[in-house]
Structures are given as C-alpha cells and as structure tokens.
Chains A and B, each alone.
Chain A
Amino acid sequence: EAQVTQNPRYLITVTGKKLTVTCSQNMNHEYMSWYRQDPGLGLRQIYYSMNVEVTDKGDVPEGYKVSRKEKRNFPLILESPSPNQTSLYFCASKVSLGSYEQYFGPGTRLTVT
C-alpha cells in the first residue's frame, strides 16, 4: 500500500531535549516536505526536499533541521525543542516539485513542556 508513515504519532517531551520525528514514503517520490499545523494558522511549510541531499527552508524553518540521505526518508530534527514548537506535524510527499497531488502522513502531535 502506497503510504507516508511518521513516528512517533504522539510525543511529550521537555524543553531542550533533542528529538527526531521520522518520515518514510514507499512511493519513490522525489519531493518531500514537513508542515506544522497550529490552531488559527493553518498548515505552514517548515522544510522541503526536492531530492536526495537537496533540502531547503520553507516558511517557518527556525528551530528545525532536516536531512535527506535516502530517497524514502526525511527526518525532522528538533535540536533544542521549545514550548512554541508544540504543534501537529505532517510529513508529505509527491512525485516531484511540479506534481500536484501530495500524500500526507498521519501526523505527529508534539507537546514540549
């Protein structure tokens, strides 16, 4: 089954404790991205990757890092999480930048205390 998976689905952590949210897709998609969703703000793009070893900032990259060492995986790294990073995070992928249909992961609800 074609899908985007994220882990963990739920995470409660403390300020400053490094964490990684994994994202994996099995559709051989070139383009992957991370979004955060906050009440009253809608989805906002954090980082994106057009292919292996090609990543760039989205609209709200501060406090996040990403890597794309393999085509299928696109982890989101929070080196020193802060409470303002409490949010619902979505990974998404599509065939390429020019493709319209995007596939979303199930979401990761992160709480930073």
Chain B
Amino acid sequence: KNEVEQSPQNLTAQEGEFITINCSYSVGISALHWLQQHPGGGIVSLFMLSSGKKKHGRLIATINIQEKHSSLHITASHPRDSAVYICAVRGVSGGGADGLTFGKGTHLIIQP
C-alpha cells in the first residue's frame, strides 16, 4: 500500500507570501490529486496530475514521477486560502475500489 507523506503538517504565513506544500509517496502511481478542505469541512478537488505541471489562478501543482514527489504552490497568498490541503494518490493496480490513498493534510493559515 502506498505511503503518502505531506509536509509541513501546519503552516502559518503572512498575506502575500509564496506558499509551498509538499507530497511524497512510496509506490508508483497513475495519478495524484490535490484537494482543498475548507474550515467548514467541505472538500473540493483542485488538481489531478499524472505528469508535469498545472496552473489554475494563483495555484500551481507540479509532479516529479521519478522522485515520487508533488508540490502545490500558492502565489500571492490570501486569508481566504486558509484551509487544509490534502494530497491523494491513485495506485496503478486495478480493482473496484478507487485506489486512492490520502495524505493527512497540511493545515494552512494565512494571516492578514
């Protein structure tokens, strides 16, 4: 089973700072997801990556398949970015379960 490690576990930063959240996994994957969990609990999918880099607004996600590592970057951070960011990896093996293994999340607080 894949081991998914996120770092840091907690991060507090000032508004405007450039934020990086890291995700490492132990076994080859078919895809990696970044999710955002708002303080109220709701979860939203941000990105799905299988290679390279994706950008959406101020969010950028990268993945290095050889190094089994992904990063989520937030540029010009804002208090509304405060949330828990969750990395999830999807294994290459088949089967009925969706094969997702979730990281424990990074709790980000952006102070004004």
29 contacts between A and B (CB under 8 A): A31-B98, A33-B98, A40-B104, A41-B104, A42-B102, A42-B103, A42-B104, A42-B105, A43-B88, A43-B102, A44-B102, A45-B100, A48-B96, A48-B97, A48-B98, A50-B96, A56-B97, A59-B97, A88-B41, A97-B98, A100-B48, A102-B45, A102-B98, A103-B45, A104-B42, A104-B44, A104-B45, A107-B42, A109-B41
Interface of A is mostly: strand
Nearest 3 A/B pairs, CB to CB = A104-B43, A107-B41, A42-B102
A sample of 9 more A-B contacts (CB under 8 A), given A45-B97, A100-B31, is: A31-B98, A42-B103, A45-B100, A56-B96, A97-B98, A100-B90, A103-B45, A107-B41, A107-B42
Contact with A along B32-49 (1 / 0, CB 8 A): 010000001111110010
Q: Interface size of B by Cβ–Cβ distance < 8 Å? A: 21
Residues of A within 8 A of B (CB): 31, 33, 40-45, 48, 50, 56, 58-59, 88, 90, 97, 100-104, 106-107, 109
Distance (whole angstroms) from the CB of A75 to the closest CB of chain B: 19
Of A50, A102, A103, A109, chain B has the most CB atoms within 10 Å of the CB of A102
Give Cα distance in the complex from A31 to B41, angstroms: 22
Distance (whole angstroms) from the CB of B110 to the closest CB of chain A: 22
